[in-house]
Structure 1
Amino acid sequence: MTGQSIPERISWAVGTLDLTPSDRVLEIGCGRGLAAALVLDRLTEGSLTAIDRSDTAVAAAAQRNSGHVAAGRADFLAAALEETAFPDGSFDRIFSINVNLFWTRDPVRELGALRRWLAPGGSLHLCWEPPDEGRVKEIVAAVAPAMEACGLAATALTGRTSRSTGLVCLVGRAHHDPS
């Protein structure tokens, strides 16, 4: 990606994914495609599907990543998560950055769908840059039990940027996953 500065929170969040070149990735709330570009730079054989509620954001993300779209490795869809369906086991990594629905209300339906969409050995990464460090604990306290209730063992990763008091990413992996 040239000519575009990537916010540290996005670089950090994408770094938590531990991507392999052939991963199939779903991004929830792709915005204008900055994280998608970082992910696609790491995928040589894999693919990215990205969703966002905003038609404007999806159009900008598709434009920003037009080479990957043209190559058939990226797909950007204007859709709400709760209205989206993918076959079970479709993705190796699923992630979101600053998507509040997971901690501002009961996300059991959405997390259940994400759990089904994960391939064996896959992981779910829900990342935030809250406005203050106290919110990091609040997010973990709200989201980790919901992930556990959906069959995902939750691990909290934390980090900092030069401008924020804290970053948090809850990583969920299937309880009975042999990997």
Structure 2
Amino acid sequence: MPAVPRRLTWTVDLLGVQPGHRVLEIGCGRGVAAALECDRLADGTYLGIDRSAKAVAAARERNAAQVDAGRAVFAVQALEDAVLAPDGTLDTVFAVNVNHFWTHDPAGELDRIKAALRPEGRVFLAYEPPPGGRLDTLAPRLGAVLEAAGFAVAATHDPDAGLLCVAGKSVGRAGRTS
């Protein structure tokens, strides 16, 4: 198998997922990050969604043991159509190189994510810009989008690797506390 891209290992390390967490990955692709996440979950669960049926099929195959164990589920869904967790029980939502959050107005999707998160749940938007891409303009843009949706925001950079993650913590909503 090819080496795992640095953007995925770096992002998964930032998430700080605990064994019992419920995790959603938006744009799960072929399930590479899912394999890293599921290794950290004992009695937690992972849901990966992607628009591509081909990618989801590859993710299911790559993570067959986790799917068979009931720890991972993969679905062909766009974020705007996805069934998330309306009961506010997700601990972490993350997306790597999902441009929708900065190329469109994601207010509706972020509202849905916030409703799906438990109190103090977190969303992580990680990017490795293409050559010539600028992290210094992307970070404030993503931060403003998350703040407008009611998240407390922090940004993390890895300038040596050209990586950015903007994280938001859900604040000010009722829901699950454990």
TM-score w.r.t. structure 1 length?
A: 0.91
CA contact (8 A) 2:155 2:165 kept: yes
Is the deviation greater in 149-158 or in 80-89?
A: 80-89
- Structure 1 residue 106, shift from structure 2 partner: 1.2
Structure 1 counterpart of 2:62: 64
Is the deviation greater in 11-20 or in 79-88?
A: 79-88
Runs of 4 or more, structure 1, over 6 Å off, are: none
Label 1:24 to 1:145 Cα distance change in 2 as closer, same or farther (>3 A). Answer: same
State the distance in 2 between where 1:121 and 1:20 align: 14
- Structure 1 residue 127, shift from structure 2 partner: 0.3
Structure 2 counterpart of 1:91: 90
State the distance in 2 between where 1:132 and 1:54 align: 25
Structure 1 counterpart of 2:168: 172
State the distance in 1 between where 2:59 and 2:133 align: 32
State the distance in 2 between where 1:4 and 1:44 align: 26
Label 1:133 to 1:158 Cα distance change in 2 as closer, same or farther (>3 A). Answer: farther
SS at match of 1:6: coil
State the distance in 2 between where 1:24 and 1:89 align: 10
The residue correspondences of 1:146-161 to structure 2 (distance < 5 A) are 146-160=145-159
- Structure 1 residue 55, shift from structure 2 partner: 0.2
What is the total number of aligned residue pairs between the two structures?
Answer: 173
State the distance in 2 between where 1:33 and 1:97 align: 12
- Structure 1 residue 60, shift from structure 2 partner: 0.2
- Structure 1 residue 137, shift from structure 2 partner: 1.8
TM-score w.r.t. structure 2 length?
A: 0.91
State the distance in 2 between where 1:90 and 1:50 align: 16
CA contact (8 A) 2:26 2:48 kept: yes
State the distance in 1 between where 2:88 and 2:134 align: 32
Gap runs ≥5 in structure 2: none
Gap runs ≥5 in structure 1: none
Q: Percent identity?
A: 45
